[in-house]
Amino acid sequence: MAKSVKLINNGLRVNPDLQKERDTGTFNIVELTNIIDGGPERTKRRHELEQLLFSDPVFTNPNRAFLSKSQLYDYGVQKSVKLFHLKRKYQWNEEDYFMAESLLRKEISLSLHHTMFIPAIERLATDEQKAKWLPLAQSFKILGTYAQTELGHGTNLLGLETTATFDQSTDEFVLRTPKITSMKWWPGGLGKSSTHAIVLAQLIIDNKSYGMHPFMVQLRSLDDHTPLPGIKVGDIGPKIAINTVDNGFLILNQVRIPRDQMLMKNAKVSRSGKFTSVGNSKANYATMMLVRVNMTNWAANIACGSVTAAMRYSCVRRQSALKPGGEEEQVINYQSQQYKLFPALATAYALTFASQQLHDYYYKIYPQLARGSYTNLAELHSQSSALKAISGELSVHHSEICRRACGGHGYLWYAGLGEAVAGGASIITAEGENTVLYQQTARYLMKQVALNVSGQTLNGFTSYLNNDDIYVNPIEKSEHCHDLQILTDIYQNMANRIIKKTAHRLHADMSSGLEQHIAWNKNMIQLVRSAQVHSHMSIVKAFITSVQSLVLSPVLKQVLHRLCVFYCLYGIINNSGDFIETSSINLNQLELMREEEIKLLSQIRPDAVSLVDAFDIHDETLCSVLGVYDGNVYEKLYESTQQEPMNKTDVHPSYYKYIRDLLHSTPQSKL
């Protein structure tokens, strides 16, 4: 029997259908929650922070749907500042702070101060510069953002047009955005909040460009917050979602800063104007890679929240009857509904484990980068690009399926699912548009294939490319479809063959005399496809290795193994062309997998609610009337209408302005 994490204390009993689901679960929910959180102490700490935050009216949001953009921003700033005060009051470490911030699901306005500004100082500044800037940022004496993207340039960092020209006579850099396309555009917190920005600009010394480098630029007065001379800054306007954040534009007109405000960990400019490269220039991308790592976690959180809301609602909602004349059936009992939600459930777990593994890999590699060792930098860049791209796409795809699975009610703002889809969509283009990121991963994969062809044994995330043996799929009976090693081999063979086939085509085109850039564009569709199959395989492998390596009770081991097998089979069946084309499976094996996939639906069904309950998402974090823990969906839906300003009066003013005359007018006869 499942053991629930939370108790209901709002005076309403738990919906009986939802309680029945919890009573019939087969595993201990707390055990799985602890694994997702990273241990029982982290779960305990999260509950303490939830109690602290959600007992404060600042962090509850019943009327957010009806706020203007300016009011949303004001609301987000209030939350941010209160969170900063709590961090200072309780002396939270960074882990506590980020845990608290995650509970608010990106509804705060000043998040980039911690997620990009401070990490950029830590990664790009010298020790002396860190000693100056970090205490100011950590004590909130200054508020900052990271200004890289321009109006005319996003992912193509080499094309950035903002310039920082060294003036040796004054020992200063002069920053300019010379064209309309040069202005910084999109950085969060830039529009109205930040006093400082780390600006990425092309370094110019004696009319010679030395590439992109980071510069600390003060934007606003620390006395009255007005923009400084030469700086024009503002908000870029309403977005599809996340309007608590003031994404901004920045125009720089001959803005002068001292030479020591170029962050010089990886490159230096002397008083005489001599440029010296200290390390790998790509190390300047360390902050961006960290954000991509974090975005995989944001994508996982969105997927977890969406499937939680849809799964609970599907157990509460009854619709029609399977047996004529019988009781209306829980929607979750329809196989078609299960085939919408169980893939979303499995994907949420797959993304959770994959994001955790990527996070661990980043913090394993980062100390090496900090010491100036860049051996694993290219792999980190490739893998963070790949997983950021596929995580966002999978999260948005399955969140939209969850929204549709809730029927008409899923279209309501208070359902929370539309906002999840819209907010998740930002991941697809933020910090690198996905198609471009897939190309960056593909470029790394092509280099890895070339190394392997030259006789080098590959390690890490591309070690599967070493395998050139004749592949024989051993699936002959249903039990083989549940063997995680067999499923791993199937995915790795598929990815191996597609990637190497693409590499062969690219090499053949270049050998025929095509210039590299022409050959690349000619094969771009296959190159992107290569990165996508590598990304998909990486997610699958992360799920499998987690299930295999985690210390679990036998019951929970079986539950997660079953869900993992379902995820693998679903991925094969829904991308069957890739697997058939590469002879990773044949048509008979595909049919056998379809049969096993359908069987797994009924096996997952008893634990469906327990598996979403294990995410342990607080109602205030979830923000969904359809997904409330107590299952009192219809009461919550009606309560939400009482927040609607139009319902404050029985008759809307438009009646007196337009409708009354229409209803009481006498039709004019034709002459």
Give the per-residue pLDDT at 671.
52
Which residues, other chains included, contact 166 with Cβ-Cβ below 8 Å and sequence gap of 6+?
A: 172, 173, 174, 203, 204, 205, 206, 259, 269, 273
248: which strand partners?
235
CA 609/CA 26 separation, integer angstroms: 11
CA 350/CA 567 separation, integer angstroms: 8
CA 353/CA 189 separation, integer angstroms: 30
Give the per-residue pLDDT at 371.
82
Q: What is the C-alpha R_g of the chain?
A: 27
Alpha carbon 95 to chain centroid, angstroms: 18
Which residues, other chains included, contact 288 with Cβ-Cβ below 8 Å and sequence gap of 6+?
A: 148, 431, 432
197: which strand partners?
145, 217
- The HSE-up count of residue 384 (CA atoms within 13 Å, CB side) is 26
Contact 27, 610 (CB under 8 A): yes
Q: What is the pLDDT of residues 67-125, one digit of tens each?
A: 999 999 999 999 999 999 999 999 999 899 999 999 997 678 999 999 999 999 999 99
Give the per-residue pLDDT at 442.
98
**What are the residue numbers of the active site?**
431
Give the per-residue pLDDT at 3.
41
Give the per-residue pLDDT at 105.
78
Give the per-residue pLDDT at 415.
95
CA 24/CA 608 separation, integer angstroms: 10
Q: Dihedral angle at the C-alpha atoms of 362, 363, 368, 374, nearest 10 degrees?
A: 10
Which residues, other chains included, contact 191 with Cβ-Cβ below 8 Å and sequence gap of 6+?
A: 233, 234, 235, 236, 246, 247, 248, 249
β-sheet with 248-252: strand ranges across: 184-185, 248-252, 231-235
CA 211/CA 202 separation, integer angstroms: 5
Give the per-residue pLDDT at 106.
63
Q: What is the pLDDT of residues 313-371, one digit of tens each?
A: 999 999 988 888 888 999 999 999 999 999 999 999 999 999 999 999 999 998 888 88
CA 447/CA 374 separation, integer angstroms: 16
Contact 444, 381 (CB under 8 A): yes
Alpha carbon 99 to chain centroid, angstroms: 15
Instruction: Of 54, 33, 55, 53, give the one whose Cα is nearest residue 44.
Output: 33
Strands 248-252 and 231-235: antiparallel
What residues in the chain have per-residue pLDDT under 70? 1-12, 62, 106, 281, 470, 668-671
Count of residues in the chain? 671
Cα–Cα distances (Å) from 250 to 166, 188, 197, in that order, read 20, 12, 10
Contact 110, 82 (CB under 8 A): no
pTM of the entire predicted model: 0.94
458-462's contacts with Cβ under 8 Å and 24+ in sequence apart are: 460/376, 460/379, 461/379, 461/382, 461/383, 461/538, 462/379, 462/534
Per DSSP, helices labelled H in 253-285 are none
Task: Tell me how crowded residue 667 is: count the other CB atoms within 10 A of its CB.
Answer: 5
Q: Which residues of 499-519 are buried (b: 16+ CB within 10 A; e: fewer)?
A: bbebbeebbebbeeebeeeeb
Task: Tell me how crowded residue 97 is: count the other CB atoms within 10 A of its CB.
Answer: 17
Q: State the DSSP string of 386-408.
A: HHHHHHHHHHHHHHHHHHHHTGG
| Residue 146, φ and ψ in degrees, nearest 5 | -125, 110
